[in-house]
């Protein structure tokens, strides 16, 4: 059976969703003027989360500091993010998508895949179904999407990135050479900037150059495994299934970029506790425990360094995990100014079996701490994550869960 995959991608999702809400309230449509979704423009950590097409004409880019965007476009209209609105809009458009196939994979808040293989008896012309889906979302919800139609997930997602907005594009196996090969190699899905630069130094400029390159030329640059993966993707090959269930998390992590550089252990420890607490709470909600704790820091030169420790026994206790993270920070950091601090809990196991203390003995107070964590999680789940804070984190902005 020939595979047919749809990739549905909301056009400038955060900005589109904010615009729909504003229009319903009788306000102006942000999509018609240079505009962006961003945090407080006065804070250096605020970046462009989404931009309008008119803003793109001023070279405003997603992910750049909002201060830089304002220099390019002084008249830029800025609105703050509204994540509760985004969740509601995401659920609404995915509910429509689910009407077209029982096999839907939620790829991100504003993207999903549909496996349309074998649906010919319902949709004799598969492109008609793609246009119908696109138009339903526009007419019923007020925002637009692109629908990519391809022979696999890779090609469907590549197709949805073609001309925007409000379009349907195909990229079947027979179209790879004519539609995908002429594109810059940087446009290949999942190809990082550093790898693209290495390829360009080898005069591999287009995806077609990569698809026809001798693998022996790639191996010394990117390694054996990566050379095979790149060659396959450049030729449009992808056998990954559309997974209706999101795979289990491989780790739980949180990081923060403070508004001011961190230069003392008291501030760093408070942030570290808030980060560890947030990651551990998510992990406990999934009934998992971690054997590994890692800490990452970024200096003012934007260089990242990390340190990790393998635990003898898996745990989900915030206090125990924080004690390890705090020790790792001391080994890693000499109090040079920090721009970013992060914690990751990995090497996961389910919540069954005996949990021993990290500090000797079978309990060491951990059982009491687990009960405290459970009570805190329950209160936060009912009344909001900021209703209870660890004492050392008072005054520190808690990472979002």
Which residues form the catalytic set? 111
Q: How far is residue 328 from each of residues 270, 324, 331, measured CA to CA in Å? A: 15, 6, 5
Cβ-count burial of 246 within 10 angstroms (0-12 exposed, 13-18 middle, 19+ buried)?
exposed
Q: How far apart are CA 11 and CA 357, in angstroms?
A: 49
Q: How far apart are CA 213 and CA 374, in angstroms?
A: 56
CB 399 within 8 A of CB 278: yes
Residue 96 makes CB contacts below 8 A (sequence gap 6+) with: 133, 136, 137, 140, 141
CB 20 within 8 A of CB 89: yes
CA 309-279-50 angle, 5° bins? 120
Residue 63 makes CB contacts below 8 A (sequence gap 6+) with: 47, 48
Report the first-to-last Cα separation within the chain, whole angstroms. 42
Q: In what order do the strands lie in the sheet with 304-315?
A: 251-256, 338-350, 288-299, 304-315
Spatial CA neighbour of 230 closest among 214, 248, 243, 242: 214
Residue 119 makes CB contacts below 8 A (sequence gap 6+) with: 4, 101, 126, 129
Q: How far apart are CA 173 and CA 203, in angstroms?
A: 25
Q: How far apart are CA 8 and CA 92, in angstroms?
A: 13
The two tokens of residue 50 are 């989404």
């Amino acid at each position: 059976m020939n595979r047919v995959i749809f990739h549905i991608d909301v056009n400038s999702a955060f900005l589109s969703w904010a615009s729909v809400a504003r229009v319903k309230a009788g306000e102006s449509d942000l999509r018609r003027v240079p505009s962006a979704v961003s945090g407080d423009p006065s804070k250096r950590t605020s970046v462009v989360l989404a931009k309008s097409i008119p803003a793109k004409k001023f070279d405003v880019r997603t992910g750049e500091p909002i201060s830089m965007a304002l220099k390019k476009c002084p008249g830029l209209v800025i609105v703050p993010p509204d994540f509760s609105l985004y969740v509601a809009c995401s659920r609404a458009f995915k509910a429509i998508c689910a009407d077209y196939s029982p096999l839907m994979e939620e790829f991100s808040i504003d993207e999903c895949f549909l496996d349309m293989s074998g649906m010919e008896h319902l949709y004799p012309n598969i492109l008609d179904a793609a246009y119908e889906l696109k138009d339903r979302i526009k007419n019923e919800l007020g925002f637009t999407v692109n629908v990519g139609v391809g022979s696999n997930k890779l090609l469907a997602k590549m197709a949805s990135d073609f001309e925007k907005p409000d379009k349907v594009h195909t990229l079947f196996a027979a179209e790879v050479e004519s539609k995908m090969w002429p594109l810059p190699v940087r446009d290949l899905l999942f190809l990082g900037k550093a790898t693209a630069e290495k390829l360009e130094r080898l005069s591999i400029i287009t995806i077609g150059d990569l698809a026809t390159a001798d693998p022996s030329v790639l191996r010394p640059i990117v390694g054996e495994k990566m050379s095979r993966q790149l060659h396959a993707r450049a030729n449009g090959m992808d056998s990954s299934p559309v997974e209706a269930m999101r795979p289990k998390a491989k780790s739980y992590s949180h990081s923060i970029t403070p508004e001011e550089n961190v230069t003392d252990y008291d501030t760093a420890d408070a942030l570290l506790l808030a980060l560890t607490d947030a990651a551990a709470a998510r992990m406990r909600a999934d009934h998992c425990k971690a054997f590994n704790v890692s800490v990452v820091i970024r200096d003012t030169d934007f260089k990242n360094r990390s340190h990790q420790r393998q635990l003898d026994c898996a745990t989900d206790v915030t206090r125990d995990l924080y004690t390890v993270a705090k020790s790792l920070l001391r080994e890693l950091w000499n109090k040079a100014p920090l721009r970013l601090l992060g914690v990751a809990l990995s090497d996961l196991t389910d919540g069954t079996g005996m949990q021993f203390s990290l500090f000797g003995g079978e309990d060491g107070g951990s059982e009491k701490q687990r009960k405290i964590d459970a009570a805190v999680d329950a209160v936060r789940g009912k009344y909001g994550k900021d209703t209870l804070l660890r004492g050392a984190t008072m005054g520190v902005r808690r990472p979002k869960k």
